[in-house]
Structure 1
Amino acid sequence: MTEGHDFTGRTALITGAASGIGAATARWLDQQGIARLILIDLDGDGLNKLDLSCEVETHAADVADEAFWQGLEPKLDRLDHAVVNAGIGTGGQIAELDFAEWRRVMAINLDGAFLTLSTALRAMRNAGGGSAVVTASVTGIKPVPGIGAYGVSKAAVAHMARIAAAENAGHSIRINAIAPGGVDTAIWNSPELQAQFAEHGREAVIAQMGQTTPRGRFATADELARDIGYLLSDASANVTGTVLTSDGGYTL
């Protein structure tokens, strides 16, 4: 076990945990000795398929549902870490984007992140401290045409993490954000790409898209999980209020 990465006896909450970065982070924490994981995702079946050795509590729930968080909070008798990860993608230029689609993205990516983080912060204050990581995106740093709602939501959650870090340092709570570039996860399984997947194969299309980065490929969810794990761990004890860019050089 890497020095500073011992999570023995601790509890972590992860949203968007059924697949991709969330599931990879759950597996990574399990490997580092985490005692208990509270996993949240709309995909309850996906949560139940995770093969983990620690104690696991799953919730098939919408992170944008305030009532869910109001019901869960009294049951959070101990919380040491939180990964605010649930999110969805969308396409469309701002001038043509339907307001209902804008609100759908903001409800999950921003409102859901707020509800998750605020609930987790109160629980960690009660526990005497902890750490949290919010999943943002390089599209919240670098303007990328055609995904305005997603990029705006990710810029907002990154700034929310920094404000929360300033507000909670005195409570021994660290909050950071991570801004991934392209990661090979289910977020790319959008209707816009299905025709290309059908013609060329998903693996070939993702590989071609990865050529847009200096690294020459998209990251894996496991690579992002290790970055998130570092920010959660005692190895980053002096790091708070940062936005870690993990994008294979895309923003260079």
Structure 2
Amino acid sequence: MARHILITGAGSGIGLACAQHLAVQGAERLVLVDRDADALSRVELPVSVDRVIGDVRDAALWDDLAPLLAGIDAAVVNAGVAGAGAIADMSLSEWQRIISINLDGAFLTLRAAMRAMKDTGGAIVATSSAAGIKPEVGVAAYGASKAALLHLVKVAAKEGAADRIRVNAVAPAGVETPVWDTVPMFASRAAEIGRDAAFAELAAMATPLGRYAKPEEIAAQVAFLLSDAAALITGATLVCDGGYTL
């Protein structure tokens, strides 16, 4: 079991669920990164916690964090944003916003983690998405960023193998997290019928299993990929989508 773990996007959603799960599974120290200071301040865990307020796209942040990351043996590359819009209607600035957080931020996090683990080995899991596997109308920037992340994970797995660093990804479809509140279509429907009902309605339409995942379920899958039970798994993507990509 990993003991010293970096988690980005740790203030809410999958990142927070991973922090909570790993804290009770034997982690000794968590380095939690999020740009939302209020959300991160509310995270209470029964282990040693270093809270870092910052933007994962900021290369200087990762340079400053290098001493704090010394000794980590696991990382969850999770920070990201959602976004929607047809290609013909999307502005370049919106495209760049999504790509920069979801891909540039993931690259910088991955680079920092691999540098910190170079002499000791470790395990890394990146949060991608089923949107990076199955094309849908209106998710060009988000889907492209998550598809590129899946390939980045494979390259990182090959490069990290010599240093005993495993790198994998999870690719959920719908997960009941606050990121949905930034999607106008969902926010509008949730205002009409309630958040739980909106999730249920979407899941019934989108997934053969008829429901979306809870963040805690994805956290358990991340913990598995970080654990010794997955010691020979690297460069893989665990698709956890309720059948969405079938």
TM bucket, shorter chain: over 0.9
Corresponding residue number in structure 2 for 1:247 = 241
Matched, 1:75 2:68: yes
Matched, 1:222 2:210: no
Task: Select which of 171, 179, 190 maps to 2:171.
Answer: 179
Q: Is the 8 A contact 2:180 2:187 kept in 1?
A: no
Q: Is the 8 A contact 2:6 2:69 kept in 1?
A: no
Cα offset, 1:150, TM superposition = 0.2
Q: What percent identity do the matched residue pairs reach?
A: 49
Matched, 1:199 2:192: yes
Cα offset, 1:74, TM superposition = 3.0
Partner Cα separation in structure 1 for residue 202 and residue 68 of structure 2: 43
Partner Cα separation in structure 2 for residue 241 and residue 137 of structure 1: 15
SS of 1:79's equivalent in the other structure is coil
Cα offset, 1:199, TM superposition = 1.3
Deviates more, 1:72-81 or 1:173-182: 72-81
Corresponding residue number in structure 1 for 2:201 = 208
Matched, 1:112 2:112: no
Task: Select which of 139, 143, 168 maps to 1:147.
Answer: 139
Task: Select which of 18, 21, 41 maps to 2:14.
Answer: 21
Corresponding residue number in structure 1 for 2:91 = 98
Q: What TM-score, normalized to structure 1?
A: 0.95
Partner Cα separation in structure 1 for residue 132 and residue 187 of structure 2: 25
Task: Select which of 223, 231, 236 maps to 2:230.
Answer: 236
Corresponding residue number in structure 1 for 2:181 = 189
Partner Cα separation in structure 2 for residue 71 and residue 23 of structure 1: 23
Aligned pair count reads: 244
Cα offset, 1:73, TM superposition = 1.1
Cα offset, 1:210, TM superposition = 0.9
Cα offset, 1:51, TM superposition = 2.1
Cα offset, 1:134, TM superposition = 0.6
Query: AA paired with 1:138?
Result: A
Corresponding residue number in structure 2 for 1:3 = none
Kindly report the root-mean-square deviation, in angstroms, between the aligned alpha carbons of the 2 structures.
Answer: 0.9
Query: AA paired with 2:154?
Result: R
Partner Cα separation in structure 1 for residue 181 and residue 125 of structure 2: 25
Partner Cα separation in structure 1 for residue 170 and residue 35 of structure 2: 22
Partner Cα separation in structure 2 for residue 241 and residue 194 of structure 1: 35
Partner Cα separation in structure 2 for residue 193 and residue 129 of structure 1: 41
Task: Select which of 108, 115, 126 maps to 1:122.
Answer: 115
